[in-house]
C-alpha cells in the first residue's frame, strides 16, 4: 500500500509548482524514507496507539506506520490516527490512502484541515488527548517575529523561528510520557543561537534514541531539489537519556547503512551552555578522541575573538567604490580569496574593491595587520565547510585600515591584527580535515557563523604559533595532506 502512496507522491510532486511548495514549506516523504522511519519505532508497552501525523500531506508516513504494524509481531488492540493537513487540495488523496488501511486494520482516523499550530496551542492550554506515537515530516518555512504563529507559540512557552521546529515542539508537548516520535527535519537546529530554546526544549522533555544522517546533502528529497541537509530523529518523551544510536547512509535507498552507538556526552557536551548537538559520522571519527583531548582551549582563553565582518554593503552603499582611490581603503569580500590566495583589487569584480575612510565609516574598519578570515558560506561542492585564509599587511603597504564585508568572519585581538605566526597557525588548524570533521558534527548547512567558531575548541597559543612558523617556512602552497600531517603531529 505504501507503493500506491508513492505513485501518488510522485504525481503530486511533479504537478505542484515550486512557488506552492515554498508557500506551504511542503516536501513529501519518499516511500523508502517513510518505511525506514516507521521501522525506527521501538516496541511499546501500551496496547493502544494514538498516532499523530502533523502535516500529513498525502499520508506517506501514516501509511508506512500502519503498514509496519500490520505485519509486525506486536499488534495494538486499537489504533487511532489524527492527521493534520492544511492544504485542502491534498485532502482527497490523503483520505483515499488512509481508507485503504482502515479497511484492513482496526484504525480509527480523522483528517483535520485546520491550522496545526493554532489547534495544538488550544489543546495544550485547555486539555486534549495525548499521543503515544508521532511520525512527522513537518513543513520548512521561517516564522516572522511579529506573526500570529509566533504569538501563539509564545502563549505556550515555545520560542522558535521555523515551522518545522514549531511543529515538533508542539507535538512533544502533546505526547504521553514514554511516547515516541520519529521525524525527519533539517539539521539546522543543531547549532546556532536562534534554535537554542528549541534545543533546550528537546533535551529537557525527551531522550534522543536514534539519529540518522544522510551523507549526501541532496538525496533526502531529491525529487524536490531540496539542498537542506536533513536528519531523522527518534525521540522518547520523558525517557532517561542513554547512549545514542547514530546511523548513516549515502541516500534514501539505505543500501549502505552503517550504525554505531555513542555516549550522550559525545552528542551534547555537558559543559556546553549552547547545547549544540554533535552528530559523529560513523566509521570516520577515529581521530576525533585525540583531537578533542588535546585541543581544549576556548578563544577567550587564547585571548582571541572572532567577529562577523562589520561592513554591510547595502547600508554603506554611498561610501563604496568600484576601485581604490585617494580617500579609500581596501574592502575585502569572500570573492577576493581563492584557494587561500588574496587577490585585491580584482578587475571586473561584481563587488566594490574599496570603501571611503571618513568619520562615518571609521567605526566599521580594522587597523591594517595580519588577520585570519573564514567565509561565512561555502558551496555544497567544497570538501570543507571552513575555508580559512590569511590577510597580510604586506598586500596593503600604503593603507592604515581595512574593511571586512559581512560575509567574512574575522579572527582578531580586540579589533587589532594578530602576529603573523598566530594568524597563519589558525589558518592551518582551521583548514585541516580533522577540524572539518569536528565542525560537521554540529553544523549541518553551508553557513559558518562566528557563533559556531566561538563554540569550537582550539590548540594552545604556543601550538598555534608553532603551526604558523611551519606554514611560513613552506616555499610552496601547502597541500591538504601536508596540513593534516601537521595537525597529526600536533596531537600526537
- Give tens-digit pLDDT for 447-478: 788 888 988 889 999 999 999 999 898 866 67
Contact 112/28 with Cβ under 8 angstroms? Answer: no
Q: Name the residue among 171, 8, 26 with its Cα closest to residue 98.
A: 8
CA–CA distance, 424 with 94 (Å, rounded to integer):
58
CA–CA distance, 367 with 449 (Å, rounded to integer):
23
Residues of the chain with CATH 3.40.50.150: 2-285
Q: What residues contact residue 409 under an 8 Å CB cut-off, 6+ apart?
A: 306, 307, 308, 309, 373, 374, 375, 376, 448, 449, 450, 453
CA–CA distance, 84 with 98 (Å, rounded to integer):
13
**Which band of pLDDT confidence, cut at 50, 70 and 90, is reported for residue 334?**
very high
> What CATH architecture applies to the domain 299-491?
Alpha-Beta Complex (3.90)
- Top mean-pLDDT range of 102-111, 179-188, 288-297: 179-188
Check residue 476 and give its pLDDT.
60
Full strand arrangement of the beta sheet holding 320-321: 320-321, 354-356, 328-332, 401-404, 365-367
Q: What residues contact residue 452 under an 8 Å CB cut-off, 6+ apart?
A: 191, 192, 439, 442, 443
- pLDDT of 424 > 70? The answer is yes
CA–CA distance, 441 with 34 (Å, rounded to integer):
25
**Which band of pLDDT confidence, cut at 50, 70 and 90, is reported for residue 404?**
very high
Contact 116/84 with Cβ under 8 angstroms? Answer: yes
CA–CA distance, 337 with 448 (Å, rounded to integer):
16
What are the φ/ψ torsions at residue 433 (nearest 5 degrees)?
Answer: -70, -30
Check residue 330 and give its pLDDT.
98
Contact 347/420 with Cβ under 8 angstroms? Answer: no
Check residue 403 and give its pLDDT.
97
pLDDT average, residue stretch 482-488 = 79
Side-chain half-sphere exposure of 253, counting CA atoms within 13 A: 4
Supply 474's cell numbers: 613552506
Contact 405/333 with Cβ under 8 angstroms? Answer: yes
Supply 207's cell numbers: 531522550
Check residue 208 and give its pLDDT.
97
Higher pLDDT, 378 or 359: 359
Helices 420-430, 461-473: crossing angle, 10 deg rounding? 90
Residues of the chain with CATH 3.90.220.20: 299-491
**Which band of pLDDT confidence, cut at 50, 70 and 90, is reported for residue 24?**
very low
**Which band of pLDDT confidence, cut at 50, 70 and 90, is reported for residue 78?**
confident
Check residue 243 and give its pLDDT.
94
- pLDDT of 417 > 90? The answer is yes
pLDDT average, residue stretch 389-402 = 95
Check residue 435 and give its pLDDT.
85
Sign of the torsion formed by the C-alpha atoms of 287, 292, 294 and 300: positive
Check residue 2 and give its pLDDT.
55
> Helix count (H) and strand count (E) of the chain?
17, 20
Pick the CATH number of 2-285 from 3.50.50.60, 3.40.50.720, 3.40.50.150, 3.30.499.10: 3.40.50.150
- pLDDT of 379 > 80? The answer is no
Check residue 445 and give its pLDDT.
57
**Which band of pLDDT confidence, cut at 50, 70 and 90, is reported for residue 336?**
very high
Q: pLDDT for 192-243, tens place per residue? A: 888 999 999 999 999 999 999 987 545 444 444 444 589 999 999 999 999 9
**DSSP 8-state assignment for residue 118:** H
Percent of the chain with pLDDT over 70: 84
Contact 5/30 with Cβ under 8 angstroms? Answer: no
Supply 278's cell numbers: 554533535
Residue ranges of alpha helices (H) inside 56-147 are 60-71, 91-102, 116-126
Q: Could you identify the residue written with the cell 483535520?
A: 112
Check residue 14 and give its pLDDT.
55
- pLDDT of 283 > 60? The answer is no
Check residue 318 and give its pLDDT.
96
Q: Bridge partners of 58? A: none
Q: pLDDT for 45-55, tens place per residue? A: 778 899 999 99
CA–CA distance, 482 with 438 (Å, rounded to integer):
19
Q: What residues contact residue 78 under an 8 Å CB cut-off, 6+ apart?
A: 47, 48, 49, 106, 108
Higher pLDDT, 366 or 260: 366
pLDDT average, residue stretch 371-393 = 83
Q: pLDDT for 184-198, tens place per residue? A: 999 989 988 889 999
CA angle 413, 416, 419 (to 5 degrees): 70
Percent of the chain with pLDDT over 90: 56
CA–CA distance, 362 with 58 (Å, rounded to integer):
57
CA–CA distance, 208 with 214 (Å, rounded to integer):
18
- pLDDT of 143 > 60? The answer is yes
Q: Name the residue among 432, 411, 439, 427 with its Cα closest to residue 489.
A: 432
- pLDDT of 438 > 50? The answer is yes
Higher pLDDT, 156 or 103: 156
Residue ranges of alpha helices (H) inside 343-460 are 420-430, 433-440, 450-455
CA–CA distance, 483 with 94 (Å, rounded to integer):
54
Higher pLDDT, 278 or 487: 278
- pLDDT of 25 > 60? The answer is no
Burial status of residue 52 (CB atoms within 10 A of its CB: 0-12, 13-18, 19 or more): buried
Average pLDDT score over the chain: 85
Check residue 413 and give its pLDDT.
97
Amino acid at each position: 500500500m505504501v507503493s500506491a502512496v508513492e505513485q501518488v507522491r510522485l504525481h503530486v510532486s511533479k504537478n505542484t509548482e515550486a512557488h506552492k511548495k515554498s508557500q506551504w514549506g511542503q516536501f513529501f516523504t519518499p516511500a523508502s524514507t517513510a518505511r525506514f522511519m516507521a521501522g525506527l519505532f521501538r516496541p511499546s508497552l501500551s496496547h493502544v496507539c494514538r498516532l499523530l501525523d502533523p502535516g500529513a500531506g498525502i499520508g506517506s508516513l501514516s501509511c508506512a506506520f500502519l503498514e509496519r504494524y500490520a505485519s509486525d509481531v506486536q499488534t495494538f488492540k486499537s489504533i487511532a490516527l489524527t492527521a493534520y493537513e492544511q492544504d485542502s487540495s491534498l485532502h482527497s488523496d490523503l483520505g483515499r490512502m488512509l481508507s485503504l488501511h482502515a479497511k484492513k486494520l482496526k484504525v480509527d482516523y480523522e483528517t483535520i484541515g485546520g491550522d496545526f499550530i493554532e489547534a495544538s496551542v488550544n489543546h495544550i492550554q485547555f486539555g486534549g488527548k495525548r499521543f503515544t506515537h508521532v511520525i512527522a515530516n513537518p513543513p520548512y518555512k521561517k516564522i516572522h517575529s511579529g506573526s500570529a504563529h509566533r504569538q501563539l507559540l509564545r502563549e505556550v512557552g515555545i520560542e522558535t523561528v521555523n515551522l518545522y521546529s514549531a511543529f515538533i515542539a508542539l507535538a512533544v508537548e502533546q505526547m504521553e510520557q514514554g511516547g515516541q516520535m520519529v521525524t525527519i527535519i533539517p539539521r539546522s537546529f543543531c547549532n546556532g543561537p536562534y534554535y537554542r530554546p528549541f534545543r533546550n526544549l528537546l533535551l529537557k522533555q525527551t531522550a534522543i534514541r536514534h539519529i540518522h544522517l544522510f551523507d549526501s546533502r541532496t538525496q533526502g528529497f531529491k525529487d524536490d531539489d531540496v539542498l537542506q541537509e536533513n536528519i531523522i530523529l527518534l525521540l522518547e518523551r520523558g525517557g532517561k537519556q542513554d547512549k545514542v544510536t547514530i546511523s548513516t547512509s549515502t541516500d534514501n535507498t539505505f543500501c549502505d547503512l552503517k550504525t554505531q552507538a555513542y555516549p550522550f556526552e559525545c552528542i551534547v557536551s555537558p559543559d556546553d551552555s549552547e547545547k549544540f548537538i554533535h552528530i559523529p559520522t560513523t566509521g570516520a571519527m577515529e581521530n576525533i578522541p585525540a583531537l578533542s583531548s588535546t585541543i581544549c582551549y576556548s578563544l577567550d582563553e587564547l585571548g582571541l575573538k572572532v567577529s562577523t565582518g562589520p561592513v554591510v554593503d547595502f547600508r554603506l552603499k554611498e561610501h563604496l567604490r568600484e576601485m581604490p582611490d585617494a580617500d579609500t581603503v581596501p574592502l575585502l569580500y569572500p570573492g577576493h580569496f581563492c584557494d587561500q590566495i588574496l587577490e585585491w583589487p580584482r578587475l571586473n569584480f561584481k563587488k566594490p574593491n574599496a570603501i571611503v575612510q571618513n568619520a562615518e565609516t571609521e567605526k566599521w574598519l580594522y587597523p591594517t595587520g595580519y588577520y585570519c578570515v573564514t567565509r561565512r558560506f561555502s558551496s555544497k561542492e567544497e570538501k570543507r565547510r571552513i575555508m580559512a585564509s590569511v590577510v597580510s599587511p604586506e598586500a596593503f603597504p600604503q593603507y592604515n585600515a581595512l574593511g571586512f564585508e559581512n560575509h567574512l568572519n574575522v579572527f582578531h585581538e580586540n579589533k587589532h591584527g594578530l602576529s603573523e605566526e598566530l594568524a597563519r597557525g589558525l589558518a592551518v588548524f582551521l583548514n585541516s580535515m580533522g577540524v572539518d570533521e569536528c565542525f560537521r558534527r554540529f553544523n549541518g548547512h553551508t553557513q559558518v557563523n562566528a557563533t559556531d567558531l566561538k563554540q569550537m575548541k582550539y590548540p594552545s597559543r604556543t601550538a598555534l604559533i608553532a603551526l604558523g612558523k611551519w606554514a611560513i617556512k613552506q616555499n610552496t602552497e601547502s597541500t591538504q595532506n601536508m596540513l593534516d600531517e601537521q595537525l597529526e603531529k600536533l596531537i600526537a
